Structure 1
Amino acid sequence: MRVGSNPTKVDKELVISSYHRVVVPVYIPNTEEDYFKEALPILKYSLQSLLKTIHKNTRISIINNGCCTLVTEYLKKIKFENEAIDQLLESDINLGKINAIYSAVKSNIEPLITVTDADVLFLNNWQEAVEQVFVDFPKAGMVAPVPAPVAYKSSYVNSTFYYGFFNRLFKFDTVVNPNALKQFQESIGTHLFKNIHFKSYLVLQKKKKKAAMGCGHFVVTMRSQVFEKAPSRPTKFKIGGESLKRYIDEPNDKAGYLRLATMDCYARHLGNKEEAWMKPMFDALTTSDNFGNEAAINFNSKGISKFSQFIGKVLYRVIIRNNSLRRIYFRSKGMKNSEF
């Protein structure tokens, strides 16, 4: 039996007080295996650095993606203690990174969504720097707080290449923080960069406004519109495979948005082993007390047209994929080193 009238039938519109959401999938199935032995202290650094550095118009979704009891208890505790964490979604099984992310993305309506691994140390002003790129480049759809000098080689920068090429915005600039890039390379255990990449990177420059070309996705902020271009069905991959490309990279390019990064490094990759530099860097963080830059961001900005995307794809393949033409073009933008 139903008595009375449901008040939500009168107040139908969903109203939110935040405009930026951070989604953190967490998979730590145990703390005994060597790979996961130090995963909990790493997770603590990551979540606590995030809580310290976000502005007040931010909310956090954590996805407990099949974590062990010890980690589950910690996640419940940190949610209870922090109002900014308004969602703790729990699954007894590992849904996979992308499916876990999308469980939160598809159920929230903030116009900016940061998706991040659980081993990222967020630094002061990361959010302000990322949001400023959206202000400076209204067609940005995917912005990371860490530049990736080799990301121009990605197959999913066609829209970015078209925009930078025809607006004559490309140039090479001096890397702001080479030591941070070296530290990032060491943390992932892969020889990702050449020596030239610690000195120069390809940037888009519009008067005094700059952003690095391309980005990775261990931590990245995206327009909510991007996710509308993603596949409607869950991915069958837990991690890797084609999931990141199909559900993160490709949708941004299909939507006609730019793939960019901040000029400086505003986050560090922690990996799965605690190191001596981590605590001093964490201790140096200060709590953010600002409310973000909501009024300055054009949340309704459209990407470039499908025809422009096609032209960008053709140009990218002709210029960037051809070693000789790429070197000629890069020289015209200030890069004399043929190894870039």
Structure 2
Amino acid sequence: MRKGVNPVKGGKPVVKEPCDHRVLIPLFIPHEEDYFKDAYRIFILCLESILKTANSKVKVSIISNKCCDAVNQRLLKLYKDKQIDELIIEREGIGKINSLLKALRTVEERLITITDADVLFLQNWEKEVVKVFEEFPKAGAVCPVPVFRKQFDLTYNIWRNYFFSNKLRFSKVKDLPALEKFATSIGWTHLPEEFGDTIATLESTSGHKAVVGCSHFVATYKREVFKELPINNSPYLIDGDSELLYLDLPVIKKGGYRLSTYSNNAFHLGNVHESWMEKEFEQLIEKDNKFIDYTYLSNISTSTFSYYLDNVIFKKIFKKKSILKWVLKRKGLNNSQLFNYLDRKY
């Protein structure tokens, strides 16, 4: 039985608080022991660092992927306290990518940041990421963390376009301690010397530098990138080819460059809480953010032919050792560095 008239009937438009940057965080904390002992504490550092430092009024979506009841209760409180704008709770473990798709397929904001729950965002992360989008109109994804040896990871469109240009070359690493922190965060005991001496960079017409390559543990994307998402969901909980198919390939299928900021603007924390993390967080200064309309950022697009030219024909030619050696030397590597780069598989 229906009684009365639904008050929203009559063609009333959707009205939302203005926002042009959405942050998506998939969260998997099935219990709070062993590997996950510090997971929620680290997640809170991640969330609060976003809210504290963002330039614009970002909206945050949390997708709870089979989190335990205790964690879900805390997430509900965050939602009630308006710390987060959207909360999706999945009883079954559907995997990182599929949990993201719950929110990603309906996102309307111009910029979409997808981050793991163990990232500490630093003071000017959004400003620096947006600067890369402004300086490089073809940028489709930008990571706020420059990471070693990503220069040939789905970046062949960049290498083809700047093959003879001095704008693309190897530069000195700007923040070596941050690079070393990343290495230890993924379980390495130290950063090998040959990983920290140089990094591939792209220079804009105004002289602004970005790093070639983009990690997917945290990155900001232009919304049109996700028009290239696969129709079906991922069969994997994590790893496999899920991040490649759903986060990486859509960027280059749309003709976008995969770049990172030259300066370090976030830390990957890992699963163990350490005192330095709190010290870094305490140094953050809360910003009085406001709505920023990011629709001025250039749209990206490409043709099937251009995609094939970059990622099949050019890639095949470029990876020939003799050609790669010539290019790397021309782009600034000395003989010792050249040996280290050529000796590795890409």
Q: Does 216-225 or 68-77 show the bigger shift?
A: 68-77
Secondary structure at 1:165 match in 2: coil
Amino acid at match of 2:211: A
The answer for the alignment partner of 2:277 in structure 1 is 278
Contact 1:161 1:316 in 2 (8 A): no
Amino acid at match of 2:36: F
Secondary structure at 2:40 match in 1: helix
Amino acid at match of 1:19: D
The answer for the alignment partner of 1:328 in structure 2 is 326
Q: Does 253-262 or 37-46 show the bigger shift?
A: 37-46
Relative distance call for 1:128 and 1:303 in structure 2 (3 A) is same
Q: Does 262-271 or 5-14 show the bigger shift?
A: 5-14
CA deviations on 1:239-286 (whole Å, 9 max, x unpaired) are 001101111111111111100000011111111111121111111111
Which segments of 5 or more consecutive residues in structure 2 lack a partner in the other structure? 342-346
After TM superposition, list the pairs within 5 Å mapping 1:292-311 onto structure 2: 294=293, 297-299=296-298, 301-311=299-309
Relative distance call for 1:106 and 1:94 in structure 2 (3 A) is same
1:170 aligns with 2:168: yes
CA deviations on 1:66-124 (whole Å, 9 max, x unpaired) are 111221122122222235x2101111111100011111111220111000001111111
Match of 1:206 among 192, 204, 207: 204
Amino acid at match of 2:185: S
Secondary structure at 1:50 match in 2: helix
1:160 aligns with 2:158: yes
Q: Does 218-227 or 324-333 show the bigger shift?
A: 324-333
Find the aligned partners of 1:67 and 1:27 in 2 and give their Cα distance: 5
Find the aligned partners of 2:285 and 2:7 in 1 and give their Cα distance: 44
> CA offset at residue 10 of structure 1?
2.8
Which segments of 5 or more consecutive residues in structure 1 lack a partner in the other structure? none
Relative distance call for 1:63 and 1:333 in structure 2 (3 A) is same
Find the aligned partners of 1:13 and 1:160 in 2 and give their Cα distance: 40
1:52 aligns with 2:52: yes
> CA offset at residue 213 of structure 1?
0.2
Relative distance call for 1:82 and 1:12 in structure 2 (3 A) is closer
After TM superposition, list the pairs within 5 Å mapping 1:1-340 onto structure 2: 1=2, 3-4=4-5, 7=8, 9-12=10-13, 17-32=18-33, 34-83=34-83, 85-154=84-153, 156-165=154-163, 169-190=167-188, 194-207=192-205, 208-291=207-290, 294=293, 297-299=296-298, 301-313=299-311, 314-319=313-318, 321-336=319-334, 337-338=337-338, 339-340=340-341
Find the aligned partners of 1:74 and 1:163 in 2 and give their Cα distance: 48
Secondary structure at 2:85 match in 1: strand
Find the aligned partners of 2:74 and 2:162 in 1 and give their Cα distance: 45
Relative distance call for 1:30 and 1:5 in structure 2 (3 A) is closer
Find the aligned partners of 1:44 and 1:5 in 2 and give their Cα distance: 39
CA deviations on 1:192-223 (whole Å, 9 max, x unpaired) are 96423312111111231221001111001111
Find the aligned partners of 1:183 and 1:51 in 2 and give their Cα distance: 23
Amino acid at match of 2:21: H
Amino acid at match of 2:170: F
What is the RMSD of the two structures over their aligned residues, measured on CA atoms?
Answer: 2.2
Relative distance call for 1:306 and 1:16 in structure 2 (3 A) is farther
Find the aligned partners of 1:2 and 1:9 in 2 and give their Cα distance: 17
Give the TM-score normalised by structure 2: 0.90
Secondary structure at 2:92 match in 1: coil
Amino acid at match of 1:227: F
Count of equivalent residues: 335
Amino acid at match of 1:142: A
Secondary structure at 1:153 match in 2: coil
Find the aligned partners of 2:307 and 2:275 in 1 and give their Cα distance: 46
Find the aligned partners of 1:133 and 1:209 in 2 and give their Cα distance: 8
Q: Percent of aligned positions with the same letter in both sequences?
A: 33
> CA offset at residue 157 of structure 1?
2.0
Relative distance call for 1:21 and 1:99 in structure 2 (3 A) is same
Relative distance call for 1:9 and 1:60 in structure 2 (3 A) is same
Amino acid at match of 2:308: F
Secondary structure at 2:151 match in 1: helix
Relative distance call for 1:297 and 1:131 in structure 2 (3 A) is farther
Contact 2:20 2:294 in 1 (8 A): no
Find the aligned partners of 2:244 and 2:281 in 1 and give their Cα distance: 32
